[in-house]
A and B are shown apart, each in its own frame.
Chain A
Amino acid sequence: MVGLGFQQALEQNQFVITVELAPPKGTDVSRMLACAERLKGRVHGINVTDNQSAVMRLGSLAACHLLKERGFDPIYQITCRDRNRLALESDLLSAAVLGIRNVLVLTGDHPTAGDHPEAKAVYDLDSTQLLQVITRLNQGRDLSSRSSGGKPLVNGATLAGGTNLFAGAVVNPEANPLEPQIWRFFQKVAAGARFFQTQAVYDLERFDQFMGYARELGAKILAGVLLVRSAAAARYVNEHVPGVVVPERVVKELEPSANPLEAGIRMAGQQIRHLRERCDGVHIMAIGLEEHIPAVLDEAGI
């Protein structure tokens, strides 16, 4: 049974479990909340995606609020794709007043990947800059460069009450080449990221190498674990989900299975066991298979 909240568990060096839930495309939140209920007591935090894969859905902030009301510790995912700096700062203040403290900052998949490919992409800030903004909001200041009276401001305006957000970011230890990712990783730590949730990890040797850098910086790392229902689903992910690559050997292992979902659950559970000795936690991405996450945790012996 999981007792502590996300940040507390990380700070007490527990092996932290987070999962990803996507808000519905519409206003019917029943499935999302039912999935969350099944995870009660088994996970430390629930990430709520922000128009994931650039597909329009219910807002992450509202969904986080619903989860918070029901006793979960949500991790509010916020991307740079859809909002400029005014909207991002404003939404972060909104999160703070709703008691949502954990924030995961992402660049955001490009609109062309999603269901509104004609949309104007924003990216007013990049994810590193957004982390700096959170650091600043936590200090009770914003990013504004002049007062409402038009006076230039060097260090932003003083807020009537700042935030106390626990900010994290994303890193892809399987990126090829890895070097620019490591540079980005260092940069995000410097900008204020206190935890990292990674893209799906498959190559443990490479991951160990990556963890060498992470330990140097003292950053908390939750390794990504992907649950896929079949070889075809894995191929779809490879084709359509930016930044995620399911290696061919995994696809091949799923292919002949009579019950590929079961095989997928077993493989994800196994992966968690491998990762347990290597990092600070795991972040499970089940993309549509959230109801099977408890089975993955059973398989992992958690």
Chain B
Amino acid sequence: MIVAEQKDIAEIIPMTEGYQNILVIGCDTCVTVCLAGGAKEVAILACSLRLAARARGKKVQVDEISIERQCEKEFVDSLQSTVRGHDLLISMGCGIGVQTIAEQFPNLAVVPALNTKLLGLPERQGVWVERCQACGQCILDKTGGICPISRCSKSLLNGPCGGSQNGKCEINKEIDCGWHLIYERLKSLGRLGCLEEIMPAKDWSRSRNGGPRKVIREDMCL
């Protein structure tokens, strides 16, 4: 899932400056699960903005709505009638949600209320951890199902660096050394042989470094 967290309200309030009719839009998918931008968070943010406006003696209308998925045009399109009369849309979706809304409503200002953080999973209640960087060239078959691109702080391909100590990363003793995890897992699977070959330099052009990416399934195109 995509994990996000809400921006500080002090960063959001200035974004609303000069607008009178605000619509706060939540998303019922990933950001609801990670407790950042679902209907509940929308209600809290809308309330905070109303209070902030009142405190500054301003008359601002703040409305709320949450849709199933902000990252799909069909769902965003369902907002056509709701957005009418608003001059600012605050998206509580991930960065994709904000942009889908911006694309669907080219004449309306859209601002983000969240910082999109990572592709990962809830590790335990209230804690989400990164697991994928969408590098475009999955090598989990070679690394025991543990991703060195997202779990090694340096995205190294050929084992731990000299900073790995007692299974922890040099940048923070709270972080597991990704390569330590990979090594231990392959060892317990009796598959250390996977590591015999030196992995070649990665083709980063398949990642973000190749420019904005696109997936095309010609067989599915209409």
- Chain B residues lying within 8 Å of A123, measured Cβ to Cβ, are 154-156
Contact between A109 and B163, CB atoms less than 8 A apart: yes
Q: Find chain B residues with CB under 8 A from A127 CB.
A: 158, 161
> Which single member of A143, A180, A243 contacts B163 (CB below 8 Å)?
A243
Q: How far is the CA of A5 from the CA of B165 in the complex (A)?
A: 34
Binds B, one of A169-177, A212-220, A248-256, A277-285: A169-177
**Known contacts A129-B157, A184-B158; is-contact A109 B165 (Cβ 8 Å):** no
Q: Does any Cβ of A come within 8 Å of B69's Cβ?
A: no
Q: Let me know if B162 is at the binding interface, CB within 8 A.
A: yes
Q: How far is the CA of A60 from the CA of B125 in the complex (A)?
A: 47
A126 adjacent to B163 (CB under 8 Å): no
Chain B residues within an 8 Å CB radius of A190: 198
Q: How many pairs, one residue from A and one from B, have CB atoms within 8 Å of each other in the complex?
A: 90
A184 touches B166 (CB 8 A): no
Say whether A129 contacts B201, CB under 8 Å: yes
Tell me whether A128 and B162 are in contact (CB under 8 A). no
- Inter-chain contacts of A106 with B (CB < 8 A): 162
Evaluate contact between A175 and B155: CB separation under 8 angstroms.
no
Contact, CB under 8 Å: A107 / B198: no
B contact residues around A187 at 8 Å (CB) = 158-159, 198
B interface residues (Cβ-Cβ under 8 A, vs A): 153-167, 170-172, 179-180, 183, 192, 195, 198-202, 204
Give the chain A neighbours of B172 by CB distance below 8 A. 112
Check B198 against A129 for contact (C-beta < 8 Å).
Answer: yes
Residues in B with CB closer than 8 Å to A243 are: 161-163, 165, 170
Contact indicator per residue, chain A 96-112, by CB within 8 Å of chain B (1) or not (0): 00000000001111101
User: Which residues from chain B contact A177 at a C-beta distance below 8 Å?
Assistant: 167, 180
Centre residue among B159, B162, B170, B199 by max chain A CB count within 10 A: B162
- List of A residues within 8 angstroms of B161 by Cβ: 107, 126-127, 243
Residue A47 CB within 8 A of the other chain: no
Can you name 7 A-B residue pairings with CB atoms under 8 Å? A110-B153, A112-B153, A125-B201, A128-B198, A180-B159, A180-B179, A183-B183
